[in-house]
């Protein structure tokens, strides 16, 4: 018989996960209802519920996939709703409510601390209040600085309208959302008009990278300023995130340049090609802006972009994907097995086995989910290339938002499937499974079981 006390402990441990998942669901539903209203659309008519739900999910899950061009279809009110959803979705309703609770009460209760710690991927409740302050401060300072820099380019181009464009773009970039309101230039243009503008391109890239690093890394870097050997004093997690991020950006830029300089970037000056390649290396992890037409890109570029999207950003950030540290743990686990080590070793540090198991479970669950989703999309859309359907599925799950086929041209069944993928990708497949499970799992920490032998390889 299952120990009742252990069962209660399992329920108590899983409760924050449910709160987080349902908070995202509440934001999505509320946003969808607002977007259906005639005041939200420029036609003055009700927007179909499925399309409003798709847009609200994409904004809240900071994805960027769209049914309608954000400028062409939505009014200023509708665009403001989308902007609010991006901000709430990027930081999470839990971060906002917990922060304001802390400001009102002056301190947080144990339940609030546990909830915030689970939401931020923080290992313990110690330092949660300081982390919350850092999250809010870094977010609004980064977005304000980004908007200010962008306004130096957008205001001269578009006058007073450039102020809202700058703010919208800065928030969308920092939250890794990928929405834009530049459709008055050309519908679905994204950032293609500004491919050669170094100020706009580098500012957007910088915001995406800052939002995707994770607040734990920010906290560690800022804290290390007070120590002597700054780089060596960083946590193992921060080192992995920074090195992996830099490697993916540099490597991605080189590979995309080699694949596309004679294709979609053909005929452009070298510096413009290089800037477009850099931008196309940063945005798939996981922002959704684009400067190249993925529908016209090479198959290898789309395959490589799928890999970048699947990896995504880093834990505790505004981005999605399985995360950089997860992939690094798996790579180093394989390396450690080849070297004959009993444990996963990274930078002369032993990685806890529970972290390795969690990484394997996350990547395996994500991969299986995507395989099922791609097969379903292939059934729903038999006339579309399988690679493009895989591109769309991974883009939705990783909350990236770039597209090679156009979400608005898909059937209702495909759009509903993408909504589910975006939601699962934002809350995490493991968290989603825990939330949807009727009976909570029982931890077997105190149970000794006989060992079984299995041959592998």
The proportion of the chain whose per-residue pLDDT surpasses 90, expressed as a percent, equals 63
- In a domain? residue 1: no
- In a domain? residue 174: yes
Residue 274 has pLDDT above 50, yes or no: yes
Q: pLDDT band for position 19 (50/70/90)?
A: confident
- Name the domain count of the chain: 1
pLDDT at 166: 97
Q: Which of 83-92, 189-198, 213-222, 395-404 has the lowest mean pLDDT?
A: 213-222
Per residue in 342-351, pLDDT (tens digit) is 899 998 899 9
Q: pLDDT band for position 198 (50/70/90)?
A: very high
Mean pLDDT of the chain: 86
- In a domain? residue 446: no
Q: Which of 94-98, 249-253, 396-400 has the lowest mean pLDDT?
A: 94-98
Residue 297 has pLDDT above 90, yes or no: yes
pLDDT at 440: 46
- In a domain? residue 302: yes
Q: Which domain holds residue 69?
A: 16-436
Q: pLDDT band for position 64 (50/70/90)?
A: very high
Q: pLDDT band for position 97 (50/70/90)?
A: low
Please state the rounded mean pLDDT for residues 7-22: 62
* 56 backbone dihedrals φ, ψ, rounded to 5°: -65, -40
Give the integer Cα–Cα distance in Å for 406 and 51.
Answer: 13
Q: pLDDT band for position 441 (50/70/90)?
A: very low
Q: pLDDT band for position 415 (50/70/90)?
A: very high
Residue 13 has pLDDT above 70, yes or no: no
Q: pLDDT band for position 93 (50/70/90)?
A: low
* 41 backbone dihedrals φ, ψ, rounded to 5°: -110, 145
pLDDT at 135: 83
- In a domain? residue 455: no
Residue 356 has pLDDT above 90, yes or no: yes
pLDDT at 194: 93
Give the integer Cα–Cα distance in Å for 435 and 419.
Answer: 17
- In a domain? residue 4: no
pLDDT at 70: 96
- In a domain? residue 311: yes
Going by the DSSP 8-state scheme, the letter that residue 194 receives in this structure is G
Please state the rounded mean pLDDT for residues 111-138: 65
pLDDT at 90: 85
Q: pLDDT band for position 17 (50/70/90)?
A: confident
Residue 2 has pLDDT above 50, yes or no: no
- The structure's pTM equals 0.89
**Residue 210, number of CB atoms within 10 A of its CB:** 22
Give the integer Cα–Cα distance in Å for 415 and 84.
Answer: 22
Angle formed at CA 398 by CA 422 and CA 126, multiple of 5 degrees:
95
pLDDT at 218: 83
Per residue in 150-178, pLDDT (tens digit) is 999 999 999 999 999 999 999 999 999 99
Listed in sequence order, the residues at least 6 apart from 454 whose beta carbon sits closer than 8 Å to its beta carbon are: none
- In a domain? residue 445: no
Give the integer Cα–Cα distance in Å for 161 and 272.
Answer: 27
List, as own/partner pairs, every contact residues 362-370 make where C-beta atoms lie below 8 angstroms and the sequence separation is at least 24, other chains included: 362/322, 362/326, 362/428, 362/429, 362/430, 363/322, 363/326, 363/327, 363/330, 365/429, 365/430, 365/433, 366/310, 366/322, 366/397, 366/429, 369/397, 369/421, 369/424, 369/429, 370/310, 370/394, 370/397
Find how far residue 126's CA is from the centre of its chain: 26
């Amino acid at each position: 018989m299952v120990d009742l006390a252990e069962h209660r402990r399992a329920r108590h441990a899983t409760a924050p996960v449910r709160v987080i998942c349902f908070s995202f669901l509440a934001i999505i539903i509320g946003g969808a209802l607002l977007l259906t209203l005639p005041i939200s659309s420029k036609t003055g008519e009700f927007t179909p519920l499925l399309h409003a739900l798709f847009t609200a999910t994409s904004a809240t899950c900071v994805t960027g996939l769209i049914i309608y061009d954000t400028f062409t279809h939505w009014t200023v009110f509708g665009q403001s709703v989308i902007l609010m959803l991006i901000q709430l979705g990027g930081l999470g309703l839990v971060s906002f409510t917990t922060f304001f609770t802390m400001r009102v009460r002056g301190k947080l209760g144990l339940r609030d601390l546990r909830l915030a710690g689970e939401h931020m991927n923080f290992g313990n409740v110690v330092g949660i209040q300081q982390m919350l302050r850092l999250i809010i401060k870094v977010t609004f300072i980064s977005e304000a600085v980004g908007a200010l820099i962008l306004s130096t380019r957008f205001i001269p181009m578009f006058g007073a309208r450039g102020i809202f464009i700058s703010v919208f773009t800065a928030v969308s970039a920092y939250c890794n959302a990928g929405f834009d309101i530049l459709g008055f230039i050309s519908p679905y243009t994204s950032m293609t008009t500004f491919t050669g503008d170094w100020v706009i391109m580098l500012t957007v890239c910088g915001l995406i990278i800052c939002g995707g690093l994770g607040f734990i890394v920010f906290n560690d870097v800022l804290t290390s300023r007070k120590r002597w050997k700054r780089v060596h004093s960083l946590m193992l997690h921060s080192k992995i995130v920074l090195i992996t991020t830099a490697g993916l950006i540099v490597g991605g830029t080189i590979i995309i340049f080699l694949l596309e300089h004679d294709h979609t970037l053909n005929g452009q000056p070298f510096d413009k090609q290089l800037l477009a390649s850099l931008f196309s290396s940063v945005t798939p992890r996981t922002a959704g802006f684009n400067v190249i037409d993925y529908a016209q890109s090479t198959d290898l570029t789309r395959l490589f972009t799928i890999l970048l999207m699947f990896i995504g950003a880093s834990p505790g950030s505004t981005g999605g994907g399985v995360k950089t540290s997860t992939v690094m743990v798996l790579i180093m686990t394989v390396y450690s097995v080849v070297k004959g080590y009993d444990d996963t070793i990274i930078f002369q540090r032993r990685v806890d086995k529970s972290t390795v198991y969690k990484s394997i479970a996350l990547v395996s669950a994500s991969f299986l989910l995507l395989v099922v989703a791609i097969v379903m999309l292939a059934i729903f859309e038999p006339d579309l290339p399988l690679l493009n359907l895989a591109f769309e599925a991974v883009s939705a799950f990783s909350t990236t938002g770039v597209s090679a086929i156009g979400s608005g041209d898909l059937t209702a069944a495909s759009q509903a499937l993408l909504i589910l993928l975006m939601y699962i990708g934002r809350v995490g497949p493991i968290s989603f499974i825990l939330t949807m499970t009727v009976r909570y799992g029982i931890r077997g920490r105190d149970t000794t079981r006989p060992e079984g032998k299995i041959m592998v390889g």
